[in-house]
Chains A and B, each alone.
Chain A
Amino acid sequence: MRPDIGDFLRGVKKSLAEVVFPTLTDPFALEQSAFIMLALDHVLARWDKASHFCREENRGLRAVLAEAAARLSGEAGLPKNAVGLRDRIQDRLRKEEVEDGADRPYESLRDGNACLRELLAELVGAASGEEQNRGARAFMKKQLEREREWVRVGEFVW
Protein backbone atom coordinates (compact mmCIF):
# COMPACT_ATOMS: atom_id res chain seq x y z
CA MET A 1 0.00 0.00 0.00
CA ARG A 2 1.35 3.44 -0.91
CA PRO A 3 2.45 5.66 0.58
CA ASP A 4 4.59 3.09 2.32
CA ILE A 5 7.07 3.65 5.16
CA GLY A 6 9.83 4.73 2.78
CA ASP A 7 7.48 7.19 1.07
CA PHE A 8 6.56 8.69 4.43
CA LEU A 9 10.14 8.97 5.57
CA ARG A 10 11.14 10.71 2.33
CA GLY A 11 8.14 13.01 2.72
CA VAL A 12 9.04 13.87 6.30
CA LYS A 13 12.61 14.60 5.26
CA LYS A 14 11.51 16.85 2.40
CA SER A 15 9.04 18.74 4.56
CA LEU A 16 11.60 19.28 7.33
CA ALA A 17 14.29 20.36 4.85
CA GLU A 18 12.11 22.67 2.77
CA VAL A 19 9.53 23.99 5.22
CA VAL A 20 10.54 23.57 8.84
CA PHE A 21 14.31 23.86 9.07
CA PRO A 22 14.68 27.06 7.00
CA THR A 23 12.61 28.87 9.63
CA LEU A 24 15.02 27.97 12.44
CA THR A 25 17.37 30.57 13.84
CA ASP A 26 18.32 29.05 17.20
CA PRO A 27 21.84 27.60 16.88
CA PHE A 28 21.10 24.54 19.00
CA ALA A 29 17.94 23.76 17.02
CA LEU A 30 19.93 24.15 13.78
CA GLU A 31 22.49 21.66 15.04
CA GLN A 32 19.69 19.25 15.97
CA SER A 33 18.22 19.59 12.48
CA ALA A 34 21.48 18.36 10.94
CA PHE A 35 21.42 15.31 13.23
CA ILE A 36 17.77 14.69 12.38
CA MET A 37 18.61 14.59 8.66
CA LEU A 38 21.46 12.19 9.35
CA ALA A 39 19.17 9.94 11.38
CA LEU A 40 16.52 10.03 8.65
CA ASP A 41 19.10 9.02 6.03
CA HIS A 42 20.08 6.09 8.21
CA VAL A 43 16.48 5.02 8.79
CA LEU A 44 15.57 5.42 5.12
CA ALA A 45 18.42 3.17 4.07
CA ARG A 46 17.79 0.52 6.71
CA TRP A 47 14.14 0.35 7.75
CA ASP A 48 13.16 -2.56 5.50
CA LYS A 49 16.35 -4.52 6.22
CA ALA A 50 16.22 -4.35 10.01
CA SER A 51 14.37 -7.61 10.47
CA HIS A 52 16.71 -9.47 8.13
CA PHE A 53 19.73 -7.98 9.91
CA CYS A 54 18.41 -9.16 13.27
CA ARG A 55 17.52 -12.60 11.92
CA GLU A 56 21.05 -13.10 10.59
CA GLU A 57 22.50 -12.19 13.98
CA ASN A 58 20.06 -14.54 15.67
CA ARG A 59 21.13 -17.39 13.41
CA GLY A 60 24.81 -16.74 14.09
CA LEU A 61 24.35 -16.41 17.86
CA ARG A 62 22.37 -19.61 18.07
CA ALA A 63 24.97 -21.52 16.05
CA VAL A 64 27.92 -20.35 18.15
CA LEU A 65 26.09 -20.97 21.43
CA ALA A 66 24.87 -24.43 20.34
CA GLU A 67 28.46 -25.31 19.52
CA ALA A 68 29.63 -24.04 22.92
CA ALA A 69 26.88 -25.94 24.76
CA ALA A 70 27.79 -29.14 22.92
CA ARG A 71 31.45 -28.64 23.83
CA LEU A 72 30.59 -28.02 27.47
CA SER A 73 28.36 -31.12 27.50
CA GLY A 74 31.27 -33.21 26.27
CA GLU A 75 33.65 -32.07 29.01
CA ALA A 76 33.90 -34.20 32.10
CA GLY A 77 34.08 -32.72 35.60
CA LEU A 78 32.83 -29.26 34.65
CA PRO A 79 32.78 -26.71 37.48
CA LYS A 80 29.33 -25.80 38.80
CA ASN A 81 29.21 -22.37 37.16
CA ALA A 82 30.05 -23.86 33.73
CA VAL A 83 27.26 -26.42 34.15
CA GLY A 84 24.90 -23.55 35.07
CA LEU A 85 25.94 -21.56 32.01
CA ARG A 86 25.56 -24.59 29.73
CA ASP A 87 22.05 -25.24 31.09
CA ARG A 88 21.02 -21.62 30.61
CA ILE A 89 22.34 -21.64 27.05
CA GLN A 90 20.36 -24.79 26.31
CA ASP A 91 17.20 -23.31 27.87
CA ARG A 92 17.52 -20.15 25.81
CA LEU A 93 18.18 -22.08 22.62
CA ARG A 94 15.01 -24.11 23.22
CA LYS A 95 13.01 -20.88 23.72
CA GLU A 96 14.48 -19.42 20.55
CA GLU A 97 13.43 -22.52 18.64
CA VAL A 98 9.86 -22.22 19.89
CA GLU A 99 9.65 -18.52 19.00
CA ASP A 100 11.42 -18.89 15.68
CA GLY A 101 9.52 -18.49 12.43
CA ALA A 102 9.25 -16.19 9.44
CA ASP A 103 6.54 -14.12 11.14
CA ARG A 104 8.50 -13.52 14.36
CA PRO A 105 8.08 -9.81 15.16
CA TYR A 106 11.15 -7.60 14.99
CA GLU A 107 11.10 -6.69 18.68
CA SER A 108 10.91 -10.33 19.75
CA LEU A 109 13.96 -11.06 17.58
CA ARG A 110 15.82 -8.05 18.98
CA ASP A 111 15.08 -9.06 22.57
CA GLY A 112 15.99 -12.67 21.84
CA ASN A 113 19.32 -11.51 20.44
CA ALA A 114 19.94 -9.43 23.57
CA CYS A 115 19.50 -12.58 25.72
CA LEU A 116 21.76 -14.59 23.43
CA ARG A 117 24.41 -11.85 23.49
CA GLU A 118 24.36 -11.86 27.29
CA LEU A 119 25.07 -15.58 27.26
CA LEU A 120 27.84 -15.19 24.68
CA ALA A 121 29.43 -12.45 26.79
CA GLU A 122 29.30 -14.70 29.83
CA LEU A 123 30.85 -17.51 27.84
CA VAL A 124 33.67 -15.24 26.65
CA GLY A 125 34.30 -14.03 30.21
CA ALA A 126 34.30 -17.57 31.63
CA ALA A 127 36.55 -19.16 28.98
CA SER A 128 39.83 -20.29 30.42
CA GLY A 129 41.80 -20.14 27.20
CA GLU A 130 42.09 -18.81 23.68
CA GLU A 131 40.98 -22.13 22.22
CA GLN A 132 37.57 -22.01 23.89
CA ASN A 133 36.91 -18.53 22.57
CA ARG A 134 37.83 -19.28 18.96
CA GLY A 135 34.24 -19.88 17.78
CA ALA A 136 32.91 -16.91 19.72
CA ARG A 137 35.62 -14.63 18.33
CA ALA A 138 34.97 -15.73 14.76
CA PHE A 139 31.30 -14.91 15.24
CA MET A 140 32.03 -11.57 16.93
CA LYS A 141 34.28 -10.48 14.08
CA LYS A 142 31.75 -11.48 11.47
CA GLN A 143 28.99 -9.71 13.37
CA LEU A 144 31.20 -6.63 13.72
CA GLU A 145 31.75 -6.54 9.94
CA ARG A 146 27.98 -6.61 9.49
CA GLU A 147 27.48 -3.83 12.05
CA ARG A 148 30.17 -1.69 10.41
CA GLU A 149 28.36 -2.10 7.10
CA TRP A 150 25.04 -1.34 8.80
CA VAL A 151 26.17 2.07 10.07
CA ARG A 152 28.10 3.03 6.93
CA VAL A 153 25.13 4.60 5.16
CA GLY A 154 24.99 8.26 6.08
CA GLU A 155 27.85 7.54 8.48
CA PHE A 156 28.35 10.12 11.16
CA VAL A 157 32.01 11.03 11.30
CA TRP A 158 32.45 12.90 14.49
Chain B
Amino acid sequence: MEEKLRAFLKNQMPAAADLSIRGLQRRPGGASRESWAFEVAWRENGKEFNRSCILRRDPTGSVMEGDQTNRSLEFRVLKALESTPVPAPKAYWLDSAGKWLERPSLIMELVGGQPTPGPTFPVGESPELRAKIGARFVTILAELHRADWQALDLAFLGAPSVGTEPAARQVDLWEMAYRNRFEVHPILEETFCWLRRNLPATDRIALVHGDYRSGNYLYDETGRITAMLDWETAHLGDPMEDLGWASMKFWNGAGLAVGLMPRAELLRRYENESGKAVDEKRVFFYEVLGNAKMAAIALTGARAFSEGTTSHMLHGIMGLLVPRLLEDLVDQLRL
Protein backbone atom coordinates (compact mmCIF):
# COMPACT_ATOMS: atom_id res chain seq x y z
CA MET B 1 0.00 0.00 0.00
CA GLU B 2 2.79 2.42 0.94
CA GLU B 3 4.53 1.88 -2.40
CA LYS B 4 1.32 2.53 -4.31
CA LEU B 5 0.68 5.65 -2.29
CA ARG B 6 4.20 6.94 -2.94
CA ALA B 7 3.84 6.32 -6.69
CA PHE B 8 0.50 8.13 -6.71
CA LEU B 9 1.82 11.15 -4.83
CA LYS B 10 4.87 11.35 -7.09
CA ASN B 11 2.54 11.37 -10.07
CA GLN B 12 0.45 14.13 -8.49
CA MET B 13 3.51 16.23 -7.60
CA PRO B 14 6.09 15.77 -10.35
CA ALA B 15 8.23 18.58 -8.96
CA ALA B 16 8.41 17.04 -5.46
CA ALA B 17 11.79 15.70 -4.35
CA ASP B 18 12.67 13.38 -1.45
CA LEU B 19 9.05 12.41 -0.99
CA SER B 20 8.61 10.27 2.12
CA ILE B 21 5.63 8.65 3.79
CA ARG B 22 5.50 7.89 7.50
CA GLY B 23 3.10 6.15 9.87
CA LEU B 24 0.67 4.75 7.31
CA GLN B 25 -1.97 2.99 9.37
CA ARG B 26 -5.59 2.02 8.89
CA ARG B 27 -7.82 3.79 11.39
CA PRO B 28 -10.79 2.38 13.25
CA GLY B 29 -14.25 3.92 12.96
CA GLY B 30 -16.43 4.40 9.95
CA ALA B 31 -18.39 1.72 8.23
CA SER B 32 -18.52 2.89 4.66
CA ARG B 33 -14.94 3.75 3.55
CA GLU B 34 -11.48 2.60 4.52
CA SER B 35 -9.66 5.34 6.38
CA TRP B 36 -5.84 5.46 6.55
CA ALA B 37 -3.72 8.06 8.35
CA PHE B 38 -0.20 9.01 7.24
CA GLU B 39 2.31 11.84 7.06
CA VAL B 40 3.88 12.91 3.83
CA ALA B 41 6.95 15.13 3.51
CA TRP B 42 8.71 16.48 0.39
CA ARG B 43 10.87 19.26 -0.92
CA GLU B 44 9.88 21.54 -3.76
CA ASN B 45 11.64 24.65 -5.07
CA GLY B 46 13.98 24.59 -2.10
CA LYS B 47 11.14 24.53 0.45
CA GLU B 48 10.16 21.68 2.76
CA PHE B 49 6.57 20.55 3.02
CA ASN B 50 4.88 18.27 5.54
CA ARG B 51 1.26 17.22 5.60
CA SER B 52 -0.79 15.03 7.95
CA CYS B 53 -3.30 13.23 5.79
CA ILE B 54 -6.26 10.89 5.73
CA LEU B 55 -6.70 8.58 2.78
CA ARG B 56 -10.31 7.55 2.22
CA ARG B 57 -10.60 4.57 -0.06
CA ASP B 58 -13.57 2.62 -1.38
CA PRO B 59 -13.66 -0.81 0.21
CA THR B 60 -14.32 -4.04 -1.67
CA GLY B 61 -17.76 -4.32 -0.09
CA SER B 62 -19.57 -1.80 2.06
CA VAL B 63 -22.78 -0.34 3.40
CA MET B 64 -23.16 1.96 0.41
CA GLU B 65 -22.64 1.38 -3.27
CA GLY B 66 -21.85 3.48 -6.33
CA ASP B 67 -25.23 5.15 -6.67
CA GLN B 68 -25.19 6.41 -3.13
CA THR B 69 -21.61 7.64 -2.84
CA ASN B 70 -18.44 8.30 -4.80
CA ARG B 71 -15.05 9.79 -4.06
CA SER B 72 -15.03 12.38 -6.87
CA LEU B 73 -18.22 13.91 -5.58
CA GLU B 74 -16.88 14.04 -2.03
CA PHE B 75 -13.62 15.58 -3.24
CA ARG B 76 -15.36 18.35 -5.16
CA VAL B 77 -17.69 19.11 -2.25
CA LEU B 78 -14.73 19.36 0.15
CA LYS B 79 -12.96 21.70 -2.29
CA ALA B 80 -16.05 23.89 -2.51
CA LEU B 81 -16.46 24.04 1.27
CA GLU B 82 -13.01 25.59 1.67
CA SER B 83 -14.47 29.00 0.85
CA THR B 84 -17.40 28.69 3.29
CA PRO B 85 -17.57 29.02 7.09
CA VAL B 86 -18.39 25.29 7.32
CA PRO B 87 -15.39 23.55 8.91
CA ALA B 88 -14.28 20.59 6.79
CA PRO B 89 -10.96 18.94 5.93
CA LYS B 90 -9.06 20.36 2.97
CA ALA B 91 -9.13 18.04 -0.03
CA TYR B 92 -5.61 17.34 -1.38
CA TRP B 93 -5.55 14.63 -4.04
CA LEU B 94 -7.99 12.38 -5.85
CA ASP B 95 -7.57 8.99 -7.50
CA SER B 96 -11.08 8.88 -8.89
CA ALA B 97 -10.87 5.59 -10.78
CA GLY B 98 -8.55 3.77 -8.41
CA LYS B 99 -5.82 3.65 -11.05
CA TRP B 100 -3.08 4.14 -8.45
CA LEU B 101 -4.56 3.01 -5.17
CA GLU B 102 -6.53 -0.05 -6.38
CA ARG B 103 -9.91 1.52 -5.64
CA PRO B 104 -11.30 5.06 -5.88
CA SER B 105 -9.68 7.15 -3.16
CA LEU B 106 -9.23 10.68 -1.97
CA ILE B 107 -6.61 12.20 0.29
CA MET B 108 -7.57 14.99 2.63
CA GLU B 109 -6.25 16.92 5.58
CA LEU B 110 -6.01 15.19 8.96
CA VAL B 111 -7.82 17.69 11.17
CA GLY B 112 -7.17 17.89 14.91
CA GLY B 113 -9.92 17.00 17.35
CA GLN B 114 -11.64 13.86 18.53
CA PRO B 115 -14.70 12.11 17.14
CA THR B 116 -17.55 10.95 19.35
CA PRO B 117 -17.20 7.19 19.84
CA GLY B 118 -20.57 6.53 18.17
CA PRO B 119 -23.43 8.41 16.51
CA THR B 120 -24.40 10.15 19.72
CA PHE B 121 -22.53 12.62 21.92
CA PRO B 122 -21.17 10.71 24.95
CA VAL B 123 -23.50 10.71 27.97
CA GLY B 124 -20.55 11.14 30.35
CA GLU B 125 -19.30 14.43 28.88
CA SER B 126 -19.86 17.67 30.81
CA PRO B 127 -23.13 19.57 30.24
CA GLU B 128 -21.11 22.71 29.40
CA LEU B 129 -19.19 20.95 26.64
CA ARG B 130 -22.40 19.36 25.36
CA ALA B 131 -24.09 22.79 25.22
CA LYS B 132 -21.17 24.33 23.31
CA ILE B 133 -20.95 21.49 20.82
CA GLY B 134 -24.74 21.50 20.43
CA ALA B 135 -24.77 25.21 19.65
CA ARG B 136 -22.00 24.83 17.06
CA PHE B 137 -23.68 21.76 15.57
CA VAL B 138 -26.77 23.83 14.77
CA THR B 139 -24.86 26.94 13.66
CA ILE B 140 -22.79 24.93 11.19
CA LEU B 141 -25.90 23.25 9.81
CA ALA B 142 -27.52 26.64 9.22
CA GLU B 143 -24.29 27.87 7.56
CA LEU B 144 -24.21 24.82 5.34
CA HIS B 145 -27.79 25.31 4.21
CA ARG B 146 -27.13 28.99 3.61
CA ALA B 147 -24.17 28.25 1.34
CA ASP B 148 -24.70 29.44 -2.22
CA TRP B 149 -24.26 26.14 -4.05
CA GLN B 150 -24.44 27.78 -7.46
CA ALA B 151 -21.64 30.22 -6.63
CA LEU B 152 -19.68 27.32 -5.14
CA ASP B 153 -19.90 25.53 -8.48
CA LEU B 154 -21.85 22.64 -6.99
CA ALA B 155 -24.51 22.46 -9.67
CA PHE B 156 -22.79 19.29 -10.89
CA LEU B 157 -24.53 17.57 -7.98
CA GLY B 158 -27.73 17.91 -9.97
CA ALA B 159 -30.19 20.38 -8.53
CA PRO B 160 -33.73 19.12 -8.17
CA SER B 161 -36.59 21.53 -8.80
CA VAL B 162 -38.41 22.99 -5.85
CA GLY B 163 -41.53 21.02 -5.00
CA THR B 164 -41.59 17.30 -4.33
CA GLU B 165 -38.59 16.37 -6.50
CA PRO B 166 -35.97 16.54 -3.71
CA ALA B 167 -37.95 14.10 -1.58
CA ALA B 168 -38.77 11.86 -4.56
CA ARG B 169 -35.08 11.64 -5.52
CA GLN B 170 -34.06 10.52 -2.06
CA VAL B 171 -36.87 7.98 -1.89
CA ASP B 172 -35.78 6.65 -5.32
CA LEU B 173 -32.16 6.43 -4.23
CA TRP B 174 -32.76 4.57 -1.00
CA GLU B 175 -35.55 2.42 -2.31
CA MET B 176 -33.16 1.28 -5.04
CA ALA B 177 -30.56 0.47 -2.35
CA TYR B 178 -33.22 -1.50 -0.52
CA ARG B 179 -34.29 -3.30 -3.73
CA ASN B 180 -30.69 -4.59 -4.05
CA ARG B 181 -31.05 -5.79 -0.51
CA PHE B 182 -30.16 -8.94 1.18
CA GLU B 183 -33.65 -9.93 2.22
CA VAL B 184 -37.08 -8.47 1.92
CA HIS B 185 -38.76 -6.74 4.84
CA PRO B 186 -42.51 -6.23 4.44
CA ILE B 187 -42.36 -3.30 6.92
CA LEU B 188 -39.94 -1.52 4.58
CA GLU B 189 -42.27 -2.27 1.65
CA GLU B 190 -45.05 -0.50 3.53
CA THR B 191 -42.71 2.32 4.47
CA PHE B 192 -41.67 3.03 0.90
CA CYS B 193 -45.36 2.99 -0.14
CA TRP B 194 -46.04 5.53 2.64
CA LEU B 195 -43.10 7.71 1.58
CA ARG B 196 -44.32 7.78 -2.02
CA ARG B 197 -47.82 8.77 -0.92
CA ASN B 198 -46.53 11.54 1.34
CA LEU B 199 -43.77 13.31 -0.61
CA PRO B 200 -43.45 16.81 0.87
CA ALA B 201 -42.80 19.90 -1.22
CA THR B 202 -39.91 22.23 -0.50
CA ASP B 203 -39.54 25.82 -1.66
CA ARG B 204 -35.77 25.96 -1.21
CA ILE B 205 -32.86 23.86 -2.47
CA ALA B 206 -29.75 23.69 -0.31
CA LEU B 207 -26.53 21.76 -0.01
CA VAL B 208 -27.48 18.85 2.25
CA HIS B 209 -24.84 16.89 4.17
CA GLY B 210 -26.78 13.63 4.06
CA ASP B 211 -25.31 12.15 7.27
CA TYR B 212 -25.39 15.08 9.69
CA ARG B 213 -25.08 13.66 13.21
CA SER B 214 -22.68 13.03 16.06
CA GLY B 215 -19.92 10.67 14.99
CA ASN B 216 -19.38 12.73 11.85
CA TYR B 217 -17.61 15.69 13.41
CA LEU B 218 -14.39 16.27 15.31
CA TYR B 219 -14.41 18.44 18.42
CA ASP B 220 -11.97 19.73 20.99
CA GLU B 221 -12.13 20.31 24.72
CA THR B 222 -13.05 23.98 24.28
CA GLY B 223 -16.32 23.01 22.58
CA ARG B 224 -15.20 23.83 19.08
CA ILE B 225 -16.22 21.59 16.18
CA THR B 226 -12.99 21.44 14.23
CA ALA B 227 -14.42 19.65 11.18
CA MET B 228 -17.57 18.10 9.80
CA LEU B 229 -16.67 14.82 8.16
CA ASP B 230 -18.15 12.20 5.82
CA TRP B 231 -19.42 14.29 2.95
CA GLU B 232 -19.83 11.30 0.69
CA THR B 233 -23.64 11.50 0.59
CA ALA B 234 -23.79 15.29 0.19
CA HIS B 235 -26.32 16.41 -2.38
CA LEU B 236 -28.65 19.23 -3.31
CA GLY B 237 -32.04 18.86 -1.71
CA ASP B 238 -34.42 19.86 1.03
CA PRO B 239 -32.62 21.32 4.07
CA MET B 240 -35.22 19.67 6.31
CA GLU B 241 -33.60 16.36 5.36
CA ASP B 242 -30.56 16.98 7.59
CA LEU B 243 -32.83 17.98 10.46
CA GLY B 244 -34.92 14.84 10.03
CA TRP B 245 -31.81 12.65 9.98
CA ALA B 246 -30.37 14.29 13.11
CA SER B 247 -33.76 13.93 14.85
CA MET B 248 -33.98 10.17 14.41
CA LYS B 249 -34.60 8.23 17.60
CA PHE B 250 -31.95 5.78 16.39
CA TRP B 251 -29.22 8.33 17.18
CA ASN B 252 -30.76 9.43 20.49
CA GLY B 253 -28.49 9.50 23.50
CA ALA B 254 -30.12 9.98 26.91
CA GLY B 255 -33.25 11.18 25.11
CA LEU B 256 -31.36 13.89 23.25
CA ALA B 257 -31.14 14.23 19.47
CA VAL B 258 -27.67 12.89 18.52
CA GLY B 259 -26.92 13.14 22.26
CA LEU B 260 -26.81 16.94 22.14
CA MET B 261 -30.20 18.50 22.88
CA PRO B 262 -33.91 17.69 22.89
CA ARG B 263 -35.40 17.39 19.40
CA ALA B 264 -37.67 20.43 19.93
CA GLU B 265 -34.66 22.53 20.91
CA LEU B 266 -32.72 21.39 17.85
CA LEU B 267 -35.54 22.58 15.59
CA ARG B 268 -36.04 25.86 17.48
CA ARG B 269 -32.34 26.68 17.46
CA TYR B 270 -32.14 25.90 13.76
CA GLU B 271 -34.98 28.35 13.11
CA ASN B 272 -33.13 31.04 15.06
CA GLU B 273 -29.79 30.36 13.38
CA SER B 274 -31.07 30.01 9.82
CA GLY B 275 -33.85 32.57 9.97
CA LYS B 276 -36.01 30.00 8.16
CA ALA B 277 -39.13 28.34 9.52
CA VAL B 278 -38.88 24.66 10.29
CA ASP B 279 -41.61 22.59 8.69
CA GLU B 280 -42.20 19.81 11.20
CA LYS B 281 -44.18 17.71 8.73
CA ARG B 282 -41.22 17.66 6.37
CA VAL B 283 -38.84 16.93 9.23
CA PHE B 284 -41.04 13.97 10.19
CA PHE B 285 -41.07 12.73 6.59
CA TYR B 286 -37.26 12.78 6.53
CA GLU B 287 -37.10 11.02 9.88
CA VAL B 288 -39.18 8.20 8.41
CA LEU B 289 -37.04 8.20 5.27
CA GLY B 290 -33.96 8.26 7.52
CA ASN B 291 -35.00 5.05 9.25
CA ALA B 292 -35.67 3.37 5.90
CA LYS B 293 -32.36 4.69 4.52
CA MET B 294 -30.44 3.44 7.56
CA ALA B 295 -32.13 0.04 7.25
CA ALA B 296 -31.12 -0.09 3.55
CA ILE B 297 -27.54 0.81 4.55
CA ALA B 298 -27.46 -1.88 7.26
CA LEU B 299 -28.88 -4.48 4.86
CA THR B 300 -26.31 -3.56 2.21
CA GLY B 301 -23.53 -4.02 4.79
CA ALA B 302 -25.00 -7.33 5.95
CA ARG B 303 -25.15 -8.56 2.36
CA ALA B 304 -21.50 -7.62 1.76
CA PHE B 305 -20.58 -9.48 4.96
CA SER B 306 -22.57 -12.61 4.14
CA GLU B 307 -21.36 -12.70 0.54
CA GLY B 308 -17.78 -12.33 1.73
CA THR B 309 -16.98 -9.11 -0.15
CA THR B 310 -16.00 -7.33 3.08
CA SER B 311 -13.83 -8.36 6.00
CA HIS B 312 -15.20 -5.55 8.20
CA MET B 313 -17.02 -7.22 11.10
CA LEU B 314 -19.14 -4.13 11.66
CA HIS B 315 -20.94 -4.78 8.38
CA GLY B 316 -22.22 -8.10 9.69
CA ILE B 317 -23.17 -6.67 13.04
CA MET B 318 -25.04 -3.82 11.37
CA GLY B 319 -27.54 -6.36 10.08
CA LEU B 320 -28.56 -6.89 13.69
CA LEU B 321 -29.58 -3.21 13.90
CA VAL B 322 -32.39 -3.59 11.37
CA PRO B 323 -35.11 -4.73 13.81
CA ARG B 324 -34.59 -1.57 15.91
CA LEU B 325 -35.06 0.61 12.83
CA LEU B 326 -38.16 -1.33 11.81
CA GLU B 327 -39.56 -0.93 15.32
CA ASP B 328 -39.16 2.85 15.02
CA LEU B 329 -40.94 2.75 11.65
CA VAL B 330 -43.85 0.76 13.11
CA ASP B 331 -44.19 3.43 15.83
CA GLN B 332 -43.85 6.36 13.43
CA LEU B 333 -46.31 5.05 10.86
CA ARG B 334 -48.59 3.40 13.43
CA LEU B 335 -48.54 0.16 11.48
Residues on the A chain within 8 Å of B335, using CB? 137, 140-141
- Interface assignment of A13: CB less than 8 Å from any CB of chain B: no
Chain B residue with minimal CB distance to A33? B313
Chain B residue with minimal CB distance to A154? B320
- Interface assignment of B327: CB less than 8 Å from any CB of chain A: yes
Contact B187 A144 (CB under 8 A): yes
Which stretch, A36-44, A72-80, A95-103, touches the partner chain B? A36-44
**Chain B proximity of A136: nearest CB distance (Å):** 6
Pick the contact of A121: B27, B118, B185, B312 (CB < 8 A): B185
**Chain B proximity of A157: nearest CB distance (Å):** 8
Residues on the B chain within 8 Å of A35, using CB? 313-314, 316-317
**Chain B proximity of A31: nearest CB distance (Å):** 3
A157 to B330, CA, bound (A): 20
- Encoded as 1 (CB less than 8 Å from any A CB) or 0, chain B from 166 to 184 comes to 0000000000000000011
Contact A32 B119 (CB under 8 A): no
- Encoded as 1 (CB less than 8 Å from any B CB) or 0, chain A from 22 to 50 comes to 00001110111001101100100000000
A137 to B29, CA, bound (A): 37
Contact A39 B313 (CB under 8 A): yes
Contact B193 A151 (CB under 8 A): no
Contact A136 B186 (CB under 8 A): yes
Which applies to chain B's interface (DSSP): helix, strand, loop or mixed?
helix
Q: Looking at chain B, what size class is its interface with the partner chain?
A: 20 to 34
- Interface assignment of B5: CB less than 8 Å from any CB of chain A: no
Residues on the A chain within 8 Å of B317, using CB? 35, 38-39, 156
Contact A148 B323 (CB under 8 A): yes
Contact A151 B320 (CB under 8 A): yes
Contact A156 B183 (CB under 8 A): no
- Encoded as 1 (CB less than 8 Å from any B CB) or 0, chain A from 114 to 153 comes to 1001101100110000000100110011001001101100
- Interface assignment of B321: CB less than 8 Å from any CB of chain A: yes
- Interface assignment of B190: CB less than 8 Å from any CB of chain A: yes
Residues on the A chain within 8 Å of B26, using CB? 26-28
A149 to B185, CA, bound (A): 17
A39 to B326, CA, bound (A): 21
Contact A32 B312 (CB under 8 A): yes
Contact A144 B327 (CB under 8 A): yes
Among B23-37, those with CB < 8 Å from A are 25-29
Contact B183 A114 (CB under 8 A): yes
**Chain B proximity of A142: nearest CB distance (Å):** 11
7 contacts between A and B (CB under 8 A): A27-B26, A28-B26, A35-B313, A38-B313, A121-B184, A137-B190, A151-B320
Spell out A's residues near B (CB within 8 Å).
Answer: 26-28, 30-32, 35-36, 38-39, 42, 114, 117-118, 120-121, 124-125, 133, 136-137, 140-141, 144, 147-148, 150-151, 155-158
